[in-house]
Amino acid sequence: MSLEIEIQHRQGAFALDVSFRSEGRLTALFGRSGAGKTSVVNIIGGLVRPQHGRVVVEGRTLVDTERGVFLPKHRRRVGYVFQEGRLFPHLSVRQNLLYGRWFTPKPERYASFGQVVEMLGIGALLDRPPALLSGGEKQRVAIGRALLASPRLLLMDEPLAALDEERKTEILPYVERLRDETRIPIVYVSHALGEVARLATTLVVLADGRVAASGPVAEVMGRIDLFPRAEAGAVLEAAVKDHDDRFQLTRLRVAAGILTVPRIELAPGTLLRVRIRARDVMLATQPPDHLSALNVLPATVVEIAAGDGPTADIRLDCAGEDLLARLTRRSIETLGLAPGRPVHAVIKSVAFDRHTIGAALRGPNGADADLQDG
C-alpha cells in the first residue's frame, strides 16, 4: 500500500512544495486551512495538473512531469469523498451506490455490493431518497458509492467537516472499518487533530505548502513542536486484557503496563488505539500512593518545551513509546524535572472517552477482510 508524492506547484501567491512517502493504510494530511492539503489531494486525483511532480500509487505512476505522464482522472481509478455527500437527489440510495459501477469494467470490479452495504450499515436506507437521510447517513452512502467503483485509491477530503459532533461520532467507526477491513489505500484530509490521531496510520503535517513532518502516527504525534498546544497528545497501541464487570471498566495492555478505562465492548486480545492528551497527564517523582487515578505508568523525561506562558510540554519515553504531559513551569521546577529524570505518569480513567479510544484495529484473530465481488 505504497504512496509516493513529490509536488512543486504554484497557484497565484501560494507555492506548494511537498514530498513524502507512505506505506500506511490511511495517510492523513493534517494542517490549518490554507496549508495545501486539498491542493495535494486534487493533484493526486487528477483535478489539478502540477507544474512539476511525481505521483505513484502502488507502483502505478499517475503523474511524472519529467516523463510527460499525466494520467487522465477517469483512468486513475480513484474514489473521491467530499465534505458533502454530493449524492444525486433524483436517485435512491441503491441507485446512487450502483452509479459508480457502471463506469468500471466488469473484470475490474472487486467490491461486493452486499459487503459494502453491511460494512457501512446502510441496508435499511437502500430505498430512500437522499433528502430523507441525515448528514452522517449521506456520508456513509457517499463512501459506499466510491467503494463500489472498485477504486485503487480512496481520497477523503474533510469528510466529517460538515457534520456536528454527534454525526461525527456516528461515522468515525465506519471509517475505521474501511481502513482495517479493506485493502484500499486511503488519503484522508482533516484539520481536526482528534480525527487524524484516531484514524491515521501515517501522518503528514503540512504548513504553508511544505511538509513539517511525516511518518507513523505515534511517532509524529509524539513531537511537542508541531501541534496547537490545546490539542497536543500522544497515541498508544493497546490490547484489551480483560473487563471488570462489577465496576464497568476495561483493562488495556500497553508497552509500559496496564491502563484502566471505562468499559469498552471489545473482546480480550483485540488491538486498538488510544489517544492520551497532554493536559490529562500528571507526573510524580515517587511512586504515588492512595491516589484516585487508576493509571500509573513508569516513564523517563526526554524533552521539555517551555514557552513564555505558565505551562510547558514534556515528552516522555514510556517503554519505547512517546507520551506527552503538560505541567506548569512552577511544577517542573519544584519537581526538578530534566531530561533523563525517571518519573511516574498518572492518568485518570475518566480522561478516556469516545474521542480518545478508537475502535478495534484488528480482532483477536488478527484477520482482515477483502471486498470480493459477488
**Mind listing the domains of the chain with CATH numbers?**
3-221 (3.40.50.300), 233-278+288-351 (2.40.50.100)
User: In a 3-state reduction of DSSP, which class is residue 218?
Assistant: helix
292-296 contact pairs (CB < 8 A, 24+): 292/348, 293/346, 293/347, 293/348, 293/349, 294/249, 294/260, 294/348, 294/349, 295/258, 295/259, 295/260, 295/346, 295/347, 295/348, 295/349, 296/257, 296/344, 296/345, 296/346
Report yes or no: 206 and 36 within 8 Å, Cβ to Cβ: yes
Residues in the chain: 374
User: In a 3-state reduction of DSSP, which class is residue 169?
Assistant: helix
pLDDT band (50, 70, 90) for residue 367: very low
C-beta neighbour count of 327 within 10 angstroms: 23
Give bridge partners of residue 219 from the DSSP assignment.
Answer: none
How much is the pLDDT for 73? 86
The closest alpha carbon to 295, from 225, 351, 218, 354, belongs to 351
For the chain, state the CA radius of gyration. 22
pLDDT band (50, 70, 90) for residue 360: low
Which of the two residues, 262 and 367, has the higher pLDDT score? 262
The x, y and z cell numbers of residue 42, run together, are 486534487
Match 435512491 to its residue by C-alpha cell. 92
Output helix, strand, coil percentages for the chain, rounded to the nearest 5: 25, 35, 35
As a whole number of angstroms, the distance between CA 336 and CA 349 comes to: 27
The closest alpha carbon to 229, from 130, 325, 89, belongs to 325
Average pLDDT over residues 177-196: 88
pLDDT band (50, 70, 90) for residue 252: very high
Q: Which of 19-28, 100-109, 133-142, 196-205 has the lowest mean pLDDT?
A: 100-109
As a whole number of angstroms, the distance between CA 284 and CA 354 comes to: 27
- Over residues 293-316, the pLDDT tens digits come to 889 999 999 999 876 789 899 999
List, as one string, the DSSP characters of 261-296: EE-----TT-EEEEEEEGGGEEEESS---S-S--EE
How much is the pLDDT for 255? 92
Contacts of 51 (CB under 8 A, 6+ apart): 8, 9, 10, 65
As a whole number of angstroms, the distance between CA 255 and CA 178 comes to: 27
